[in-house]
Structure 1
Amino acid sequence: MQSKYKIPFTIAVLAFAITGCSSNKIKVEKVKPNPLPKLAQSMSLAQVVSHKVSATDAEDPLRLKIASEQGVLFILDPKGTVSAFQGKQRLWEKKISKQGLSSGVAAGNGIVVVGNKKGQIFALDQATGAEKWTAQLSGSLISSALVQSNRVIVVANNGTTYGLDDATGQQVWTYKLPGEQFSLRGQASPVSLDPRTVLIASSNAYLYAIDSLSGTLRMQRRVAVSDGRSDIQRLIDIDGEPTVAGQFVVTTSYQGQVTVTDLASQRVVWSEDSSSIQRPEVAGRQVIVSQTDGKVVSYDLLTGQVLWSNDQLLHRNLSNPVVLGQHIVVGDLDGVLHLLEPSTGNIVGRSKSSGEVRNLRVLDNQLYAVTRTGALSIWQNR
């Protein structure tokens, strides 16, 4: 069996910054992040509440993704605990894994689902935190599951996609994704297309549509290509979740392209060179991408035309972009939340959280920001 190697994102990036100073010396050029730009006007967000869990390692792909159901927030602690909050009130807390947790949180059909690096997946009762079932899978779990159509759908780090019965954890189906010898240490979470279809993105730059109940393949489509010469230069993983916008699905890839695919015809509408490991955002006719170099770019959803590009945040390790009210928000390595004007891309404000921002999400007009230091803060417009 061919060996596979998972490469931390920071190592892959550093590989491009190595230069030979002599026959015996190698110099690694450190790229400094852009300083924060001065703002002509400075808007800010109001923090509503904050919670704290354990920090993650700098090389860990875990983005501490949260889940929310009926106003209850479910949070994972990397040391092995899951908690439920309603506002500032903690409803329950459950220690479930001595090996820690690494997958992010999924919730649906009355259960909360988390997993760890040993391939164990746990389902807890949403109301009480009581453990309902545990299953052992074939690979480590570093991305959130999806709960839909009486199935828990999860992708192990070895490329095996599982469909488990959500009531018992029993394996109903599996689908093995083609793998690459080298890939980034990350995995996009499954995304619901409709109640019977789940979208899976893979390290070989393909998008797969799979029947949620049976595991039958309904579509596969290559959405990015690479022309690199070395193994690292040919890395083309899709680590950010695809974004569904009506009949279109938007994908980003590392060292590849941002691509819009028409799901009805299964044809690529347009594709433009762009490197990103983050989920793209769609706002009306705009596709917004935070690139690995720190540039934020807006494209027309139907044509791929670049509407604007902002390079003021270069090398600041940007999070995924989201739309909050009348602004686009991205987080950075210093915990700064930047507010961008959607029509121009100009930065019009900022707020400060604690630690490198790993994941942003908007629920009920509130912004949820999760950082590598384990801080979860909830914000809203002033």
Structure 2
Amino acid sequence: MDRKYKIPFALTILTLALVGCSSNKIKVEDAKPSPLPKLEQSKSLAPVFSESVSSTSEADPLRLQLDIDNGVIFIASPKGEVTAYRGKDKVWSKKVSKQGLSSGVEAKDGLVIVGNHKGQLFALDQATGEQKWTAQLTGAILAPSLVQSGRVVTVSNDGTVYAHDLESGQQVWSYDLPSVQFSLRGTSTPVALDARTVLVSSANAYVYALDVLSGVPRMQRRVAVSDGRSDIQRLNDVDGDPVVAGQLLVTTSFQGQVTATDLASQQVIWSEDASSTKRPEVADNKVFVAQADGKLTAYDLATGQQLWQNEQLLNRELSNPVLFGQDLVVGDLDGVLHLIDPNSGQLIGRAKTSGAVRTLRVIEGQLAVATRKGTFSVWQNR
């Protein structure tokens, strides 16, 4: 049986840095985070809600994102609890797993879906927190599930895609992604293409389109290439969630490219070198990418032409970028939320949370933030 090695992202970066040091005499201090630049303008964000749970390991890629549905905020703790809030008032809190929780929350169609390192998938009632069903998968669940068309679609860290019936929890189908010997520890979240199709990206730099009802593959397309010399340098996982923008599929990959693929023809429209494990943001005919080295880059969606690049946040371990109102927002290792002019790339403001920012989401018109330290917060524009 083939052995697979899951490599923490932080360890991979360190390994690559050491390779660089041995060949190019790069000094360790060159990788220090850039200091926060002074701002000519000073916009900020207004906090709406904040709650702290237990922290996660610095090397673990967990994305314990919160979710909001019908105005209720749902939070999962690494220690195994799920809590629901309406505003700042706690609605319910349930201990779900003694083995903890390792996936972010998916809240939709009356259920709250979470999973853990042991491959256990849990479905809770949104109104009461009562456990409706549980299912056992073959690998750790490190990314949120997707609820779509009566199915709960989940990717386990061993490369198996599962679909369970939303009401009963019965497994409907499974699909095995191709095995690779080395990959980053982490998976992207399944993404809906349409009512009948789910997109799943993989460690072999492919994106697969699966029929959500049957699991039958409808499309597979390679979206990245890598020409490194060693196994580590050839890693090009697609860990950032793919983004559907009209007829285009936009993807990022580690040590690979940001790529726009035409979904009708399945042909790559453009591809530019960029290493990222984060979901790109696509808005206003632009693609925004937070690269692994801290460069923040904007591309023209139609042509791939670089519109601007901001290098003021180098080595600050940027989160995924999101467009929130009129501003682009990205978080960093110090819990700083940077506000950026999406047209010029200029830094125009900042806000502060606690802990390295892992995920940003815009839900129901609010900015949802999750950090490694276990701080979950919701923000609005001032």
Partner in structure 2 of residue 122 of structure 1: 122
> Bigger shift: 44-53 or 76-85?
44-53
- The answer on 1:276 being equivalent to 2:276 is yes
**By how many angstroms is 1:248 displaced?**
1.0
Whole-angstrom distance in 2 between the partners of 1:195 and 1:139 = 27
> Bigger shift: 71-80 or 42-51?
42-51
Distance 1:157 1:20, change over 3 A: closer
Q: How do 1:100-179 and structure 2 match up within 5 A?
A: 100-179=100-179
Q: What is the aligned-residue RMSD (CA, Å)?
A: 1.5
Q: Deviations over 1:233-262 (max 9, x none)?
A: 000001110011111111000000000111
**By how many angstroms is 1:21 displaced?**
9.2
Q: How do 1:210-289 and structure 2 match up within 5 A?
A: 210-289=210-289
> Bigger shift: 372-381 or 341-350?
372-381
Distance 1:5 1:48, change over 3 A: same
Unaligned stretches of 5+ residues in structure 1: none
Unaligned stretches of 5+ residues in structure 2: none
Whole-angstrom distance in 1 between the partners of 2:186 and 2:328 = 25
Runs (4+) of structure 1 exceeding 4 A deviation are 19-22
Are 1:76 and 1:101, in contact at CA under 8 Å, matched by a contact in 2?
yes
Partner in structure 1 of residue 359 of structure 2: 359
Are 1:19 and 1:29, in contact at CA under 8 Å, matched by a contact in 2?
no
Partner in structure 1 of residue 67 of structure 2: 67
Q: Deviations over 1:145-200 (max 9, x none)?
A: 01111111001100010111111111111100002100000100100111110000
Percent of residue pairs bearing the same amino acid type: 63
- The answer on 1:57 being equivalent to 2:90 is no
Are 2:189 and 2:200, in contact at CA under 8 Å, matched by a contact in 1?
yes
SS in 1 for 2:90: strand
Q: Deviations over 1:249-289 (max 9, x none)?
A: 11000000000111111111111100000000011110000
**By how many angstroms is 1:107 displaced?**
1.8
Whole-angstrom distance in 2 between the partners of 1:142 and 1:342 = 31
Are 2:191 and 2:198, in contact at CA under 8 Å, matched by a contact in 1?
yes
Distance 1:19 1:266, change over 3 A: closer
Whole-angstrom distance in 2 between the partners of 1:374 and 1:19 = 33
Q: Deviations over 1:97-117 (max 9, x none)?
A: 000000111122211111111
Are 1:149 and 1:212, in contact at CA under 8 Å, matched by a contact in 2?
yes
SS in 2 for 1:14: helix
Partner in structure 2 of residue 319 of structure 1: 319
Are 2:242 and 2:279, in contact at CA under 8 Å, matched by a contact in 1?
yes
Q: Deviations over 1:180-232 (max 9, x none)?
A: 10000010010011111000000000000000000010000000000001010
**By how many angstroms is 1:28 displaced?**
8.2
Distance 1:170 1:328, change over 3 A: same
TM-score w.r.t. length of structure 2: 0.97
Residue 6 of structure 1 aligns to which amino acid in structure 2? Answer: K
Partner in structure 1 of residue 80 of structure 2: 80
Partner in structure 2 of residue 290 of structure 1: 290
Partner in structure 2 of residue 29 of structure 1: 28
SS in 2 for 1:18: helix
TM-score w.r.t. length of structure 1: 0.97
Distance 1:130 1:247, change over 3 A: same
